[in-house]
Amino acid sequence: MTDIERRKRDHLDIVLSGTAAHSGPAGFDSYMFEHNALPELNLSDIDLSSLFLGKSLKLPYLASSMTGGPDVSEKINLTIAEAAQELGFAMGVGSQRIALANGGSHGLNHSLRRTAPDIPIYSNLGAVQLVSGMGLDEARRAVDTLEADALILHLNPLQEALQEGGDQNFAGIASAIQALCAKLTVPVIVKEVGSGISAKVAGRLIDCGVAAIDVAGAGGTSWAAVEGKRAGEASGQSLGEVFRNWGIPTAHCLIDIRNAYPKVPLIASGGIRHGLDGAKAIRLGASLVGQAAALLPSATKSTDDVIAHVKTWAQALRIACFATGSRDLTHLREAPLRPSSNTAHL
């Protein structure tokens, strides 16, 4: 096992241990829907289908990018793919850097598309790789090997700064993203990994030609804390804790970007605990809602466990629609959302 593969497995183990979460909230508890006591709806008739980047989904749910090294990532990916195909939600894979570098697929190959022929599948590369050895050819290979519908580029400057041996030169990434967007034949999605994307950065990404943004805000897994726990020296462990709660809460990212850029497709991830958080995220501007750490325990067990998890998530979303009188997600986006603290009324 290479150092990179070992690091990925460490990441999986630390996230599963539950010891690397942000202490601060994702921001969704600051809002509450106005209850509708007379919805005039049949709960079973509520439509949760959606359209994202031209692809139809039965649920506005994304199994967000996750990986755990070669010995477990293939099982995780196939398990999620089977569940996604059955329930009709989207799937993102973990970074394909290892597979592209050493030629092993780790399950990131055409078998994933054969397992899930009808759902959106998103490839994944670290954006920093575009200025440290990889480019258009590797991005095309990442997409082609999965027959993917889009490519996710992840931004993780804080994680890289704290990671032993991390890629810490982010100079020139915006230009590299712009060049890639101009030539790649599938849409490019840019996401953070848990520290959020501000409206200002979102604007820069939109100018680069990015098709959608996953805000991936603070409130879920803290990758600063993850890298702190991996650090071999006390100073690295200490720095991980110093920056544990760094970032923009997910709800704040959604509000700020949606207000500044009303038409850009947004994915909400980072601290999404359940379908009610998902409903609030959609009301705040998300087109799609992602989970990674919350889904991971089920993904390491079985397809049935993933299906049960996502069905529970979807039922909470459906009930939120029902109790706000929203027959579908379009109407949910207009449902009154009230502050539960000193928060501006929406």
Which residues make beta-bridge pairs with 190?
A: 153, 213
Domains of the chain: which residue ranges?
A: 3-339
Q: What is the pLDDT of residues 117-131, one digit of tens each?
A: 999 999 999 999 999
What integer best gives the mean pLDDT of the chain? 92
Q: What is the pLDDT of residues 186-242, one digit of tens each?
A: 999 999 999 999 999 999 999 999 999 999 999 999 999 999 998 878 888 999 999
| Strands (E) located in the chain | 31-33, 50-52, 55-57, 61-63, 90-92, 121-126, 150-154, 188-191, 212-214, 266-268, 288-291, 337-339
pLDDT of 2 reads 65
From 224, 265, 254, 219, select the one nearest 241 (Cα to Cα).
Answer: 224
Q: What is the pLDDT of residues 301-321, one digit of tens each?
A: 999 999 999 999 999 999 999
**Is the separation of the CB atoms in 187 and 167 below 8 Å?**
no
> For 3-10, what is the mean pLDDT?
72
Using CA atoms, how far apart are residues 125 and 301, in angstroms rounded to an integer? Answer: 26
From 43, 45, 48, select the one nearest 59 (Cα to Cα).
Answer: 48
> For 17-29, what is the mean pLDDT?
90
From 201, 196, 237, 240, select the one nearest 219 (Cα to Cα).
Answer: 196
Tokens encoding 214? 């996953």
23 burial type by CB count under 10 A (0-12 exposed, 13-18 middle, 19+ buried): exposed
Cβ-proximal residues to 98 (8 Å cutoff; 6+ apart), any chain: 2, 4, 5, 8, 70, 104, 106
Strands 90-92 and 31-33: unpaired
pTM: 0.94
Which residues make beta-bridge pairs with 339?
A: 31
pLDDT of 69 reads 52
Give the residue, 123 or 97, on which the prediction is more confident: 123
Query: Is domain 3-339 classified as CATH 3.50.50.60?
Result: no
Using CA atoms, how far apart are residues 303 and 308, in angstroms rounded to an integer? Answer: 9
From 207, 246, 202, 339, select the one nearest 284 (Cα to Cα).
Answer: 339
Using CA atoms, how far apart are residues 254 and 287, in angstroms rounded to an integer? Answer: 11
Using CA atoms, how far apart are residues 54 and 115, in angstroms rounded to an integer? Answer: 21
DSSP conformational letter for 221: B
Using CA atoms, how far apart are residues 69 and 73, in angstroms rounded to an integer? Answer: 6
